[in-house]
Amino acid sequence: MNIITLDWIDITIASGLVIALAVLSFYQRLALEKQILIAGVRTIIQLLLVGMVLKALFSDVRLSWVVLMATVMLLVAGYEVMARQKRRLRGLWGYGIGTVSMFITSFTVTLFALLVIIGNEPWYQPQYAIPLLGMMLGNTMNGIAISLDRLMSGAWQQRTMIEGRLMLGQSWQEAIGDVRRDALRAGMIPTINGMATVGIVSLPGMMTGQILSGTVPVEAVKYQILIMFMISAGAGFGAVIALQLGAKRLFDERQRLRLERLQSAD
């Protein structure tokens, strides 16, 4: 199969699309042009760096190096979860809840796939471990970020209702139950939409990349099905854990609502 390679002129032409989007933001007065351009530059730099790191990992397969890179990926994802919330918990709680939730779900699901389903030797082969974990963290991060943002905003907006329920004798779990369920639905909608439309409306990035690199389409489909199921489990369970930890933190030991523990991102 003939594989068409891209040179830096092709990438430069493609970057014009991002520049055009930034120009549109400027004329529409969205105030997003700076963020768009910075994100575009970060995309180039980060992918170039990870390409060099993966090249080194592939040539020198060691568990310690894989663990180090996985840790860096987790810590950065934890920061992004916190950074995207309009209201978040103060201190390390705002960072720790998302990070712990992603660690529990993403690492567990990835290890399950590597050890039980794929079964490659060694199981930490970077060719499989890093891309799988990266896709898990990226999608779980989105689900958790949306869920926590909706939970904290909902608790702030509906504080009078929650406090009224507490005064009527409900536990903190019951008082914030509706807000937490709405937050969980919001966090899972992107994953459900992705599973429902994959292959019809969109061809996922991993599957497209494999096909473009010459992989037999049927094999690419199998891996994409695996990825979609992994993502759905990671995002769903991750959101459940994050919401449980986050909701509990909004109340003290006497089950009183403590919104002073929140801070605005503004």
Confidence of residue 266 (pLDDT cuts 50, 70, 90): low
252 near 157, Cβ under 8 Å?
no
pTM over the 0.75 mark: yes
Question: Could you say which DSSP state residue 260 is in?
Answer: G
Model pLDDT, residue 196 = 85
Convert 158-197 to b/e letters by CB count within 10 Å (16 or more is b). Answer: beeebeebbeeeeebeebbeebbeebbebbbeebeebeee
Q: Given a cut of 70, is residue 203 above it in pLDDT?
A: no
Average pLDDT (204-233) is 80
CA–CA distance, 199 with 77 (Å, rounded to integer):
27
Distances 168 to 144, 164, 172, 181 between C-alpha atoms, Å = 31, 6, 11, 21
Summarize pLDDT for 143-174 with one digit per residue, the tens.
Answer: 999 999 999 999 999 999 999 999 999 999 99
β-strand partners of 259? none
| Residue-wise pLDDT tens digits, 10-31 | 999 999 999 999 999 999 988 8
Q: Domains of the chain: which residue ranges? A: 1-60, 62-264
126 burial via Cβ count (<10 Å: 0-12, 13-18, 19+) = buried
Tens digit of pLDDT for each residue in 211-223? 777 778 788 888 8
Residue 233 pLDDT: 92
